[in-house]
Structure 1
């Protein structure tokens, strides 16, 4: 696979909105991965692409550390090469909606997110 650059259009979505969506979709305390998926490639991490994004990422993490009154496992790392997942992983939730919903339920993803973030 060839490395790709992941970008977004700030005219369409603010970085702060991306951060908000990111945090609400991860378990920031899981040091081993996310939900049923464990291992380095499944860890929750932020990879800001600029100094302002890095500052915003750290500010959002620091806010949550204060909110939860505990450290987070989610790392903020320097952006490096990104390799897309295989084709069958792309838009999996759209291509396999029943399997995806089953996975989310059986892994306890939704329950864990509700436990961490509330309804």
Structure 2
């Protein structure tokens, strides 16, 4: 493992559903659920879900760039979301569930913008890609009971994910038959 770990931060709706897709890759050291992009210091889940703090539910990924690249992580991010929905994600509605890529470096910004442009040009979606690309802001870890929720409460996680419609969307829009790669 390198001395220099890096961070990648993504908002993709409910953070419970955004941990597992990244957590299982070599080179990913930690995936933490939390809140970012708002104006309240140290917000709580109860505050964020009111929509008054400006924060998005997000995941902060700590990774080793010598094992997994930021481009690979971006490639894992896009198929987890509906990048055309600016009102939230799936069953979770409201500003705190909107999508965004928070860049930590100029290189991350450039790579995120390039990946968004490639997605726009791919023809995969008929509606515009509305996922925002923003500078990283302070990240506040969510309460302990939100961390690694898919591991701690697998039945509740699976029931919530099934009810959300996320997997049906992913299957319909992110399968290889739609890919121009």
TM-score of the superposed pair, with normalisation by structure 1: 0.89
How far has the Cα of 1:6 moved from its partner?
Answer: 5.7
> Secondary structure at the residue paired with 2:116?
helix
**In the alignment, is residue 26 of structure 1 matched against residue 81 of structure 2?**
yes
Q: Deviations over 1:73-95 (max 9, x none)?
A: 21101111111111111100111
Query: Taking structure 1 as reference, are residues 9 and 26 closer, same or farther at Cα in structure 2, changes over 3 Å only?
Result: same
How far has the Cα of 1:42 moved from its partner?
Answer: 1.4
* Uncovered stretches (5+) of structure 1, i.e. residues with no partner: none
**Of the candidates 60, 73, 76, which is equivalent to residue 115 of structure 2?**
60
The worse-fitting range, judged by mean Cα deviation, of 43-52 and 55-64 is 43-52
Alignment partner, residue 85 of structure 1: 142
Alignment partner, residue 96 of structure 2: 41
Give the helix-richer structure, 1 or 2.
Answer: 1
* Uncovered stretches (5+) of structure 2, i.e. residues with no partner: 1-41, 44-59, 177-181
Give distance in 1, aligned partners of 2:68 and 2:138: 23
TM-score of the superposed pair, with normalisation by structure 2: 0.60
Alignment partner, residue 66 of structure 2: 11
How far has the Cα of 1:53 moved from its partner?
Answer: 0.8
**In the alignment, is residue 114 of structure 1 matched against residue 168 of structure 2?**
no
**In the alignment, is residue 99 of structure 1 matched against residue 142 of structure 2?**
no
> Secondary structure at the residue paired with 1:60?
helix
> Secondary structure at the residue paired with 2:120?
helix
Give distance in 1, aligned partners of 2:134 and 2:148: 25
The worse-fitting range, judged by mean Cα deviation, of 6-15 and 102-111 is 6-15
The worse-fitting range, judged by mean Cα deviation, of 33-42 and 18-27 is 33-42
Calculate the aligned-residue CA RMSD, in Å. 1.8
Give distance in 1, aligned partners of 2:98 and 2:79: 15
